[in-house]
Structure 1
Amino acid sequence: MNRLERRATSALATIYALRMLGLFLILPVFALYAEGLAGTTPVLVGVAIGIYGLTQAALQIPFGMVSDHIGRKPVILFGLALFAAGSGVAAEAETIHGVIAGRALQGAGAIAAAVLALAADLTREESRLRAMAIIGITIGVAFSASLVLGPLLDRWMGVPGLFWLTAVLGVAGMGVVIFGVPTERGHRVHRDAEAVPGQFARVLRDPELLRLDAGIFLLHLGLTATFVALPLVLRDQLELAPVHHGWLYLPVMVVAFVAMVPFIIVAEKHRRMRGVFLGAIAAVALAAAGLGLAGQAGTLAGVAMALLVYFTAFNLLEASLPSLIAKAAPAGAKGTAMGVYSSAQFLGAFTGGVAGGWAHGVAGAEGVFGLISGAAALWWLIARGMAPPRYLSSHVVAVPADADPAILTPRLAAVAGVVEVEVVPEEEAAYLKVELDRLDREGLEAAATAAP
């Protein structure tokens, strides 16, 4: 990556991290705080936690498409302004309904697609995968940090203070957009990084992609439902003071992050993805059931161990699913596949909040963890039919604007290591699926630049 790309990637990762940190700071403490809000019911607590996912899912792809026409930065700034405004509404709310309205407004600042599109505008094809990986890692770190910092900051400023801090983070993100992100030299559609309307039917008919979309939906359903019940279990059944919850999450998240790495290596390097993937789903189901049993028994060590297994498997699946989407998506449809996948993720968060709140009201914490375990078991049954993934990578090469797809497509397809080709002259790009260990890079460059 050159200097401009490093600056752009760092700034965009910071924007993403500030927003995600703000969204998740309340996750480990809100169920406790909501007890003092007027109109609270278990279902409405879940709605308040997960409602951001509904508005995010509805608006992230449209915001990305709007950014194709008016520019990325105006859309990102508008989204961050909505996010900050929603945080303020939630901070001032004295009823659960007010918090729900604020959280919905937070999610309406749906900048994910526009941020990734801007990252694509500001990076070369050969650097883009690294830039996206850095942004993805930053999101994971922000989530882990929020679980640790939420309970600690709650002691000093309370949940309203956390919401005001979130508003400040949104404004800080706007400052990074204005002063930290390099000026884009123009924007265009990048099929490897953003959704294209003409590709939706193709993506939504693909059974392997739909299987993965169902997986991320159920994974985030379980995650959101977990925090409807877990803070209450830690306080009421384990008698762990809320301020100390972060000290439980800290070692769990650190060890879980390290523990997933060997499984990633086995899955990717040794091509055991299907077995590792199914094993991780089974681990989520067992860990969720273990959380219910350990919480009911009042054993902190049992809850800690169940959380460690849960988050190790969660992190592994969270890292593996985008890789599987990239492998399964047809050439030229990766951005659309990722857009649908992200929408399924956010819908899962919303559904998990509602379903978790309902289960808690009907059957208590044990009902919530039973729901999560059942959702993971359903996912295991869905995923069991998955085909062994093709170990292919997406690759983009520049082609002339006057390139003839009928001539260029078979020429590129004949290069060693190229498996799929889609030539899009109006984007001056050819989107490929390739086997990296067999790819003839010199031959590919020669084929792309040769005269018709």
Structure 2
Amino acid sequence: MSAVPRPWLLTLAALSAMGTLSTNILLPSLPVIARSLAVDEARLTAAALGMFLAAFALAQLVVGPLADRLGRRPVVLGGLAVFVAGSILGALAPTLPALLAGRVLQAVGVAAASVLARAAARDRFEGPQLAALLGRIMVVMAAAPGFSPLLGGLVQAAWGWRALFGVLVVTGVALALAYARIVGETLPVERRRRQPVAALARGYLTLLSDARFMRPALATAAILGALFAFFGTTPLVLAGDFGFSALQVGLFFAATVFIVFAAGSTAPRWTARWGAPAVLRLGAAMAVAGGLAMLASPGTGLPGFAVAGCVFLFGMGLVSPTGTALALTPFASQAGQASALLGFVQMAAAALLTTVAATLPMARMDALAAVLAGGGVLALLSGWGRPTAVVSAS
């Protein structure tokens, strides 16, 4: 992987991180936004996060095939333009409906960035090289969910919540310039696919019926869905059970970045030694262990909770790049569509497991622990066995 230029790697990592950055940077400011717009905080939180995830999931089903037809560059740049427009609308929004409209535009735009960062990596690499590249991308992009709540809290305190959308405007413009200059087009004209709607539907059905795609896709979706539940619920646990301030919550998340760094650096080496399926199963087993340990953490206090969370995060850091590489590698001829469907499954799982963690009738920490362990079990079951194609899609 030494041949991959660092600016190229960093640009793809930043594109991949835009979805979580756009969500997590707002989390510390949701109470202030609710007061500013005179709406209920719970209603704002559910709408702002739920509509974003739903639009993000659905948009990915469109941008992937569109990029397979038109190429990566115009779709990425067009998506970032839509993202910037949504961010401007959010910054100026006088009412909740206007804010939600901006969030939907942001989600549609950032879907292109997230999907096509994976597709661009698949355009250039495959097998162990792809797994290593995705692992390094994840190491870099781990900073977004870890540091963005802290960044959001600092920006909000200094300039108010509308400045958060200004940060996203600047980020979107900078990424568009970086992508155009550094990455450019990765899909040659001769590899582009012009398909009617019926053919696109058949392509998705083919992927859904192919175990080579579905096993690792479901594994990564389960583990990333649990990760989103971790991001959404942990601030409530830290503040409610351990009395953390907003700044302390941000610092906690920033510290967890190093766990994901370690996992992302370890995954390529272990994959080269034992193979991606074995590393995926090991990571899923660690996620289960972290969830089960969290169930026992009320007796061990904050250290027990932190250790359990770190075990889960390390396991997640093994599953995500290896599962993504396994899902995309057999489908070079439809990398955009495969990446889009993978993103849709992941965001659907994120919406589902985040909702489950918020609504389970038990203590918040216990609910989170159950979701982490459950996501790990689903990932372990999905990654078990040797995938065989039901229908060939390559």
Q: Which TM bucket (shorter chain)?
A: 0.7 to 0.9
Aligned to 2:162: 160
Instruction: Say whether residues 1:279 and 2:300 are aligned partners.
Output: no
Separation of aligned partners in 1, 2:129 and 2:315: 27
Separation of aligned partners in 1, 2:258 and 2:135: 19
Instruction: Say whether residues 1:244 and 2:245 are aligned partners.
Output: no
What is the Cα deviation at residue 105 of structure 1?
A: 1.6
Among candidates 231, 234, 239, match of residue 235 of structure 2: 231
Measured against aligned partners, the alpha-carbon deviations of 1:290-309 in whole angstroms (never above 9, x if no partner) come to: 56x37xx9x44343323322
Instruction: Say whether residues 1:289 and 2:329 are aligned partners.
Output: no
> SS in structure 2 opposite 1:269?
helix
Identity in percent: 23
Counterpart AA for 2:141:
I
> SS in structure 1 opposite 2:189?
coil
Counterpart AA for 2:340:
G
Aligned to 1:75: 75
Separation of aligned partners in 2, 1:246 and 1:337: 34
Bigger shift: residues 126-135 or 30-39: 126-135
Counterpart AA for 1:168:
V
CA contact (8 A) 1:45 1:228 kept: no
Label 1:178 to 1:343 Cα distance change in 2 as closer, same or farther (>3 A).
Answer: same
What is the Cα deviation at residue 173 of structure 1?
A: 1.9
> SS in structure 1 opposite 2:295?
helix
Label 1:57 to 1:19 Cα distance change in 2 as closer, same or farther (>3 A).
Answer: same
Separation of aligned partners in 2, 1:244 and 1:287: 23
> SS in structure 1 opposite 2:161?
helix
Superposition pairs of residues 79-94 of structure 1, within 5 angstroms: 79-93=79-93
Separation of aligned partners in 2, 1:355 and 1:127: 35
> SS in structure 1 opposite 2:39?
coil
CA contact (8 A) 2:221 2:349 kept: yes
Q: TM-score, normalised by structure 2?
A: 0.76
Aligned to 1:376: 373
Measured against aligned partners, the alpha-carbon deviations of 1:166-206 in whole angstroms (never above 9, x if no partner) come to: 12111222222444444679534379xxxx83543332113
Aligned to 1:102: 102
Separation of aligned partners in 1, 2:16 and 2:274: 32
Aligned to 1:350: 351
Separation of aligned partners in 2, 1:284 and 1:345: 20
Separation of aligned partners in 2, 1:116 and 1:263: 17
What is the Cα deviation at residue 20 of structure 1?
A: 4.2
Among candidates 149, 152, 155, match of residue 150 of structure 1: 152
Aligned to 2:18: 19
Q: TM-score, normalised by structure 1?
A: 0.68
What is the Cα deviation at residue 40 of structure 1?
A: 2.3
What is the Cα deviation at residue 80 of structure 1?
A: 0.8
What is the Cα deviation at residue 261 of structure 1?
A: 5.3
CA contact (8 A) 2:68 2:335 kept: no
Measured against aligned partners, the alpha-carbon deviations of 1:263-294 in whole angstroms (never above 9, x if no partner) come to: 77556513543651441231242255356x37
Aligned to 1:318: 320
Separation of aligned partners in 2, 1:262 and 1:178: 31
CA contact (8 A) 2:134 2:325 kept: no
Measured against aligned partners, the alpha-carbon deviations of 1:319-359 in whole angstroms (never above 9, x if no partner) come to: 332144257x4786666544322211122223344444445
CA contact (8 A) 2:288 2:376 kept: no
Q: 4+ residue stretches of structure 1 with deviation over 6 A?
A: 124-128
Counterpart AA for 1:106:
Q
Aligned to 2:62: 62
Label 1:135 to 1:221 Cα distance change in 2 as closer, same or farther (>3 A).
Answer: closer
Separation of aligned partners in 1, 2:136 and 2:288: 28
Counterpart AA for 1:349:
A
Aligned to 1:397: none
> SS in structure 2 opposite 1:313?
helix
Structure scoring higher RCO (CA < 8 A, sep ≥ 6) equals: 2
Label 1:256 to 1:9 Cα distance change in 2 as closer, same or farther (>3 A).
Answer: closer
Bigger shift: residues 86-95 or 72-81: 86-95
Label 1:378 to 1:221 Cα distance change in 2 as closer, same or farther (>3 A).
Answer: closer
Superposition pairs of residues 391-406 of structure 1, within 5 angstroms: none
Bigger shift: residues 53-62 or 128-137: 128-137
Structure number having the greater strand percentage: 1
Counterpart AA for 1:210:
M
Q: CA RMSD in A?
A: 4.1
Bigger shift: residues 378-387 or 157-166: 378-387
Long gaps (5+) in structure 1: 393-421, 425-430, 432-452
Report which of the two structures shows the higher radius of gyration computed on alpha carbons.
1
